[in-house]
Homo-oligomer: A and B are copies of this chain.
């Protein structure tokens, strides 16, 4: 066990706990926490610390932590903010291993609070103590050997294998209540508060190796260090599902000063990308968080999308079928044996399609039908709907489901129930920890949605893991020279091209020429036909201003085009800013795409891809990923825009060189990972040629910024 993990054990599995601020007064958090620790029957001594009380709840109280006659592993501090630093210092001197600081009045509360929190963190660091909070609602462990409720919620949830971290203490209260009501079992729970030390990242790292945890639930409001979060998530999600709600979807909005392609990326899009790339299951709200975690915790992962629905009423079956179609779950064809078995079993009025409507029958028919479905290899998972009937007994049907659950589990088939109107575990089906019960939903749609998310995760796990390839031909030295000699701001077009070339990105050859003669020389060097583009800092839209001339085939045509262009500039009064012209080799025909980079203050670089022309703008048909990009990411990225079909060869057009685009995106990722000064990049357009013929960047805008990075918390 590494040092870090051990340090969190003192927090989540302490052998003794002190409550600083424990009190006899109803209405104090200290009393609440102390009572909760006793009520959960914590397996170790609990020491109340209070200078003004001799005993609390008949337990001897100590004036200070120093007076406790034994070592204390965890101290929960619930005194007013102004007394917290002193209490923490004393804990440090006493040798306490971990602190949970409940008290508010820290970084959430103005400048003074920020300073206080900094000092608190430094005391903890100095004494080697881990710190949860401040401004949190505590931590909790249902392990019967620990049985720790160091929170101010009176709710101690049932034992289970779902771990939960929340950035909102208020939601923590709701979460514990909800888990208890629905009989959803937790392993450990932590409200991380202001995250002065322990963050969701630290907890995820702990839970990765925690044998008691098989599902991780997160409520996130912001990311401390998204890059570390991403690395962790990538390492955890292939083994344990992470289900997350991220709020604040729209708070930040898009940046005003972003470039054309950059402006299309918003922060929430980055969160989506982060979650998708690292295998995190994103859900929209707390209800779904529990629904999905419940299914993942209690049931095996579905192996495929073929579902069977068993119902005793047509209406709910129809609603479930609709939900399946919407979620991409296929109502499978039952095997001939299953159909024959059902026919023998059920009354003639029963419908033997899928959904199977067994009509108003009893528990015996449910048992027979479920047994058949368990054995049908055409089925990957089963949803069983039960409407409180007029005569039949729900308890009997619940017993059937409980009896058959192990059979489904043995065959690796999820079995999910909807006892309509009732949410929670099927009555009587909660099995001892280690085996698994059958989740039940009040409405079949919720069952379908949760199953669909489980399938999404299952598929993600089956996918080949991508890697970020090494490109051996990258000329980092050349790139470094270019970057080191460039000022902040937009690079000159030819410098931008040089930088791209250093990273092996194909550009359409272009030359700056200060006059006609040089332009003709340049054209002859690169070969006709060429395009002529004005080089002026004063002109924003070159084409509209008459500053672009295409398909020039000879020196004579070039002279003509040059003279025409300068004449237009003179007439338009634009002659002043002109530094010369660019001569660019005409590119062969192809499909135009755009690629770009936008730098987010929190997430770092985001890579954007879309089709050129009007698709991206008109249909918002573009896609974003975080870096580093893997080959699998690049593959998926190109295929995730709707206009991808244009690249495949739409309506008889020849297919484009898709692997070359993927490579372009991977090289962009390598470039921006190496050169954090790149704040914005807009390759627009990139012309993609036919299969095996590559692409060429026709125009590139790159903006450098200062290299300083935000000081990120761990």
Contacts and interface: CB of A to CB of B under 8 A. Distances in A.
B614 A390 contact: no
A296 interface: no
Interface in A444-497: 445
A169 B219 contact: no
A3 interface: no
Interface string A77-121: 000000000000000000000000000110011000000000000
Interface string A245-275: 1011111000000000000000000000000
B642 A445 contact: no
Interface in A306-333: 311-316, 318-319, 321-323, 325-326
A645 interface: yes
Contact of A315 (B221, B313, B315, B421): B221
B388 A168 contact: no
Contacts of A389: 173
B650 A325 contact: no
A170 B312 contact: yes
A178 interface: yes
A632 to B, nearest CB: 25
A418 to B, nearest CB: 10
Nearest to A178: B421
Interface string A272-283: 000000000000
Contacts of A167: 315
Given A170-B313, A445-B284, A321 B245 contact: no
A251 B321 contact: yes
Contact of A650 (B109, B349, B618): B618
A96 B152 CA distance: 65
A181 B421 contact: yes
B249 A174 contact: no
Given A390-B32, A421-B177, A250 B325 contact: yes
A251 B325 CA distance: 9
Contact of A247 (B219, B319, B619): B319
Contact of A646 (B166, B181, B247, B618): B618
A388 to B, nearest CB: 6
Nearest to A315: B168
A314 B168 contact: yes
A591 B321 CA distance: 41
B27 A391 contact: yes
A34 interface: no
A651 interface: yes
A101 to B, nearest CB: 16
A538 interface: no
Contact-size category for A: 35 or more
A455 to B, nearest CB: 18
A621 B619 CA distance: 9
Contact of A171 (B171, B313, B645): B313
A660 B612 CA distance: 31
Copies of the polypeptide in the assembly? 2
A488 B391 CA distance: 55
A210 interface: no
Interface string A433-451: 0000000001101000000
A70 interface: no
A313 B169 contact: yes
B286 A319 contact: yes
A395 interface: no
Given A247-B315, A247-B322, A287-B443, A651 B614 contact: yes
Interface in A608-649: 614, 618-619, 621, 642-643, 645-646
A639 B420 CA distance: 41
A675 interface: no
A674 interface: no
A387 interface: yes
A184 B217 CA distance: 33
A322 B248 contact: yes
Contact of A174 (B247, B388, B645): B388
A136 interface: no
Interface string A202-237: 000000000000000001010000000000000000
A118 B496 CA distance: 80
A322 B249 contact: yes
Q: Which of A170, A177, A181, A326 has the most CB of B within 10 A?
A: A170
Interface string A164-201: 00111111011001100100000000000000000000
A292 interface: no
A443 B104 CA distance: 25
A494 to B, nearest CB: 28
A452 to B, nearest CB: 14
Contact of A321 (B171, B250, B619): B250
A534 to B, nearest CB: 20
Nearest to A104: B349
B29 A315 contact: no
Interface string A141-174: 0000000000011000000000000111111011
Contacts of A32: 390
A326 B247 CA distance: 12
A94 to B, nearest CB: 28
Contacts of A322: 247-250
A617 to B, nearest CB: 8
A383 B651 CA distance: 51
A325 B249 contact: yes
B421 A316 contact: no
Contacts of A619: 619, 621, 642-643
Given A173-B389, A247-B319, 19 more contacts: A168-B313, A170-B311, A170-B314, A171-B313, A174-B316, A178-B421, A247-B315, A248-B318, A248-B321, A250-B325, A285-B323, A285-B443, A286-B319, A614-B646, A614-B650, A618-B642, A618-B643, A619-B619, A619-B642
11 contacts: A166-B315, A169-B315, A170-B313, A171-B313, A173-B387, A177-B388, A177-B421, A181-B421, A248-B321, A249-B322, A284-B445
Interface of A: 27, 29, 32, 104-105, 108-109, 152-153, 166-171, 173-174, 177-178, 181, 219, 221, 245, 247-251, 284-287, 311-316, 318-319, 321-323, 325-326, 348-349, 387-391, 420-421, 442-443, 445, 614, 618-619, 621, 642-643, 645-646, 650-651
Ranked 10 nearest A-B pairs via Cβ: A170-B313, A168-B315, A171-B315, A247-B318, A250-B325, A249-B322, A285-B445, A174-B420, A170-B387, A247-B319
